[in-house]
Structure 1
Amino acid sequence: MQLQYNEFLIRPWEPRDRAAAADAIARVLAEYGLPWEPTGADSDVLNVERCYQKVGGEFWVVEHHGKIVGTAAYYPIARGNNAAEIRKMYLLPQVRGLGLGRFLLQQLERAIEAANFQEIWIETASVLHQAVRLYESCGYQPATGVETPRCDRVYVKTNLL
């Protein structure tokens, strides 16, 4: 799987991406005053093979001129009904506002539906205003049961594409 969006290449994560993907996520979190948690909420970024690839999920990186400028991922979860959770959807500030986030979300939804999941869950933090607006504008409904300490919102979507 490789996708193109304008000058951006979206491709599956490779082991050589580990440090750059983690750095991009840590930079976005810091921008919003959220902690990078390598032994907690972000340990999956350092263990993509085990946390995504071996369990039926996917982890993508977004490249612009050979540099990683974003990430997006999903994996199966136990809550809900045959559900997947979108995780680690982060874009560096210089590539926001170009429609890339909406495109990534739509592509994740397509991949999740193609994998025969019936629900999509997303956890986020209220300070990520653009993400909250994106999820709500794309049909995600507020739910309960936040599981990640730095998050205070959870959304679910059951009517896939």
Structure 2
Amino acid sequence: MSENKITIREIQHEDNPKIAKAIRSVLIEFGVPKVGTAYEDAALDCMTETYDKQKKAYFVVAKGEEIIGGAGISPLDNYEGNICELQKMYFMPEARGKGLGSEMMQKCLDFAKKSGFDKCYLETMPYMDDARKLYRKFGFKSIGAPMGNTGHYSCTVWMLKDL
């Protein structure tokens, strides 16, 4: 693989520390609280194991050996119903503005549909404007309260999309 070629692929075990570092770096960059967000999720340090289950997938943006972003789909925690959650979608600065967000979103939503989910839910922060624009572009609509119990009580924007 070329050193500069950017690809989106399923996560591999050796990506675990790289994606954890990338996600935490982006969260710090945006001033996201370290509690009540993905920053403190135990899953961050073992993403391959977390998503290696039925109806779950995590994809990374790889540039050579470097991991510069990622996103995943998982059944919504603590929710009775056929709804998945778009999880841990973050991109390092060098991955932004290249259309990778749209490409990643399509890959995740295709996986969600193929897995048989009816709707896709997500949580974000009110000041993540570019992310919210992307979500709206893909048909996510704001809802008035959180669904399930993800443990991300610091995220105050909730969105839902019919699949």
TM-score range, shorter chain: 0.7 to 0.9
One-letter identity of the residue aligned with 1:11: R
One-letter identity of the residue aligned with 1:23: K
Provide the residue aligned with 2:159 in structure 1: 155
What SS does the aligned partner of 1:54 have?
coil
TM-score (ref. length: structure 1): 0.85
Instruction: Assess if the C-alpha contact under 8 Å between 2:121 and 2:161 holds in 1.
Output: yes
Whether 1:8 aligns to 2:6 is yes
Count of equivalent residues: 154
Whole-Å separation in 2 of the counterparts to 1:132 and 1:56: 25
One-letter identity of the residue aligned with 1:151: C
Provide the residue aligned with 2:66 in structure 1: 67
Whole-Å separation in 1 of the counterparts to 2:57 and 2:34: 21
Q: Which has the higher contact order (CA 8 A, sep 6+)?
A: 2
What SS does the aligned partner of 1:70 have?
strand
Whole-Å separation in 1 of the counterparts to 2:12 and 2:94: 23
What SS does the aligned partner of 2:139 have?
coil
Provide the residue aligned with 2:90 in structure 1: 90
Whether 1:54 aligns to 2:53 is yes
Task: Describe the shift of the 1:49–1:93 C-alpha distance in structure 2 as closer, same or farther (beyond 3 A).
Answer: closer
What SS does the aligned partner of 1:62 have?
strand
Whether 1:117 aligns to 2:121 is no
One-letter identity of the residue aligned with 2:125: A
Provide the residue aligned with 1:136 in structure 2: 136
The structural deviation recorded for 1:154 is 0.7
The structural deviation recorded for 1:128 is 1.3
One-letter identity of the residue aligned with 2:70: T
Provide the residue aligned with 2:28 in structure 1: 30
Instruction: Assess if the C-alpha contact under 8 Å between 2:23 and 2:39 holds in 1.
Output: no
Provide the residue aligned with 1:3 in structure 2: none
Task: Describe the shift of the 1:126–1:80 C-alpha distance in structure 2 as closer, same or farther (beyond 3 A).
Answer: farther
Most deviating of 122-131 and 43-52: 43-52
Instruction: Assess if the C-alpha contact under 8 Å between 1:80 and 1:119 holds in 2.
Output: no
Listed one character per residue, the Cα deviations across residues 60-106 of structure 1 (whole Å, up to 9, x for unaligned) are: 11101221000111101243641110001111012201111011001
Q: Where in structure 1 are there 5+ consecutive unaligned residues?
A: 1-5
Whole-Å separation in 2 of the counterparts to 1:96 and 1:40: 20
